[in-house]
Amino acid sequence: MIRPLAATDSKPELRLGWTPATLVFLANGHGPYTLAYGRDKAEAASRAIGQVAPGLSPAEISKAEHVTAGPEQAAPAAAGAQASSAEDAAASSRYRKAALWAALLAGLGVLGAMVWQLYKQMKTSAE
């Protein structure tokens, strides 16, 4: 229970943090790799160790190569470029999605026209 010393209308905020003892980094391709952190809108992407290293026993995982993080490098210009490229990618994704929906609706229109023509042909041949 939190009791403020002076009366206030604001609600307190509680922030919890946790520093993991082990970080498993899964990457494909040729290194060197850069591990970035701190994106506000990133969704949690935790994976079970069995999914990251399938078929390995805990003993084999403990014998795996251990790496250490190098010094933290500040890259403010790169962060801005990454943010703008993320916005560009999101806009491009929206454009592609709209184009696919338009193609789907056009295909449905063509199929509907074909069905209408067949229906008219069947109706005239039945008469």
Per-residue tokens: 27:
């990457």
The one-letter amino acid at 125: S
What pLDDT is stored for residue 37 in this prediction? 66
> End-to-end alpha-carbon separation of the chain, Å?
84
Whole-model pTM: value is 0.34
Per-residue tokens: 79:
């962060």
Query: Longest C-alpha distance within the chain, in Å?
Result: 91
Per-residue tokens: 86:
């993320």
What pLDDT is stored for residue 82 in this prediction? 57
Question: Residue 64's Cα: distance from chain center in Å?
Answer: 28
What pLDDT is stored for residue 36 in this prediction? 67
Taken in order 74, 78, 84, 88, is the CA torsion positive or negative? negative
Per-residue tokens: 64:
């795996």
How many CB atoms neighbour CB 17 within 10 A?
4
What are the start-end ranges of the E strands in the chain?
none
Low-confidence ranges of the chain (pLDDT < 50): 1, 78-79
What is the spatial distance between Cα 117 and Cα 127, in angstroms, rounded to a whole number?
Answer: 16
What pLDDT is stored for residue 12 in this prediction? 66
